[in-house]
Amino acid sequence: MVTPANEYQRHPHILGPIHWHDVSMELPLSHPLISGGTANSLVIKAYRGICRDRHPIWLMRQAGRSLPEYRAIREGIPMLESCLRPEIAAEITLQPVRRHHVDAAIFFSDIVIPLRLAGVDVDIVTGIGPVVAAPVRTRDSLNQLRKIGELDPHNLQPITDAVNLAVAELGSTPLIGFGGAPFTLASYLIEGGPSRDLPHTRHLMAHDPQLWHEILNWVAGVTSQFLRAQVLAGASALQLFDSWVGKLSLEEYVTFAAPHSREVMMQISDLPVPRVHFGTKSQPLLREMLNVGATVMGVDTDTPLDTANEILGGNIPLQGNINPELLCAPWEVLQAHITDVMQRGSVAPAHVVNLGHGVPPDTDPDVLTRMVAFVHGD
């Protein structure tokens, strides 16, 4: 496998280079990067900065409520149970690949699954989202959390099994592993559920930063174990989502969030797979988000790709950033927007087309199929 000479001249920060030619030293011989041909897939080559002649595409939340087959298989089955039943999780992961012919699958899971697997009482409540029964806001509640311990291989078996099943059918199409960044995941744990203003999170950062960092250390450990399990089971890349990071100022991010995302990246840095980092409303934070150890930067809708490329120094592969709100627009409008995104992305060393956030649940799946075909030039 050819590695560009400047592959890691552009990543002098934090983590050492990924030695693509040494993947067999860190991964099982059965891993698709070695045995299944995903190393030569368009997405993985773009993530490595060595694919400029074609635009690969996959979509955040491509496996979800926009698909009738997803709604059928999920009927009567709670969200977290769906994530933890390997046959269902694998099937949902595969559905958009079969329907839309996207260039990668994203593992079907939920941001709070690592908490659930670690023993936290958390569930998805219809109309609300993730709800934690006993929020962690005090030293005593952190001690209770620590008694749970960390994830072990037995707890992670549903994830390993689901990845195995999906990878077996995907062949040379790469599976991208998924995990929530410590700031966002810890905010759910502290708030007890979704929150517009994160009052408990902000109170803890301001009034007990030591406790804050200890909570996030625990979360970072759980997240890294969750991601590692996906890679060892067959994922060919990873994406770390920081959905709420845009609520932070640059100073807050550097002080309270970045060290823990960096810890996650450090704990998986021995795995020779691309590491994508994505956050919403993150333009002021992009450079620091890269510096936690990402090798690819996902860009949200608010930041034009050529602007992101300039902010990041012009030497990092980018992913994004079609506006999901335009998926319901007339095709001519959407087509012009996709063309603009692809043109702006072409200034980067490589570009994987994606959305600037997830697929809305009311999206017409035929529009997604048409969009993928257009990006492919079909």
CA separation for the pair 104, 44 (Å, rounded): 9
Q: Fill in the amino acid letter for 150.
A: E
Query: Per the residue annotation, which of 65, 85, 287, 370 is the catalytic one?
Result: 65
Tokens standing for 100? 């839309």
* Token pair 């690819």 in the structure block, residue: 296
CA separation for the pair 333, 210 (Å, rounded): 50
Query: Per the residue annotation, which of 110, 228, 262, 300 is the catalytic one?
Result: 110
Who contacts 100 (Cβ-Cβ below 8 Å, separation ≥6)? Answer: 59, 62, 365, 368, 369, 372
- Asked if 99 is an active-site residue, the reply is no
CA separation for the pair 235, 372 (Å, rounded): 22
Are 233 and 107 in contact, with CB atoms under 8 Å apart?
no
Are 201 and 261 in contact, with CB atoms under 8 Å apart?
no
Chain-centre distance of CA 227, in angstroms?
Answer: 10
- Asked if 188 is an active-site residue, the reply is yes
Chain-centre distance of CA 87, in angstroms?
Answer: 21
CA separation for the pair 231, 358 (Å, rounded): 22
CA separation for the pair 365, 100 (Å, rounded): 8
Scanning the chain, the segments in alpha helix (DSSP H) are 23-26, 42-47, 68-74, 79-84, 86-100, 113-117, 139-148, 157-170, 182-191, 199-207, 209-233, 250-252, 258-267, 286-290, 305-311, 331-345, 365-376
Chain-centre distance of CA 319, in angstroms?
Answer: 11
Question: Beta strands 275-279 and 237-242: pairing type?
Answer: parallel
The C-alpha angle with vertex 107 and arms to 117 and 50, in degrees rounded to 5, equals 130
Query: Per the residue annotation, which of 47, 70, 137, 188 is the catalytic one?
Result: 188
CA separation for the pair 34, 203 (Å, rounded): 47
Query: Per the residue annotation, which of 10, 48, 61, 344 is the catalytic one?
Result: 61
Catalytic residues: 61, 65, 74, 110, 188
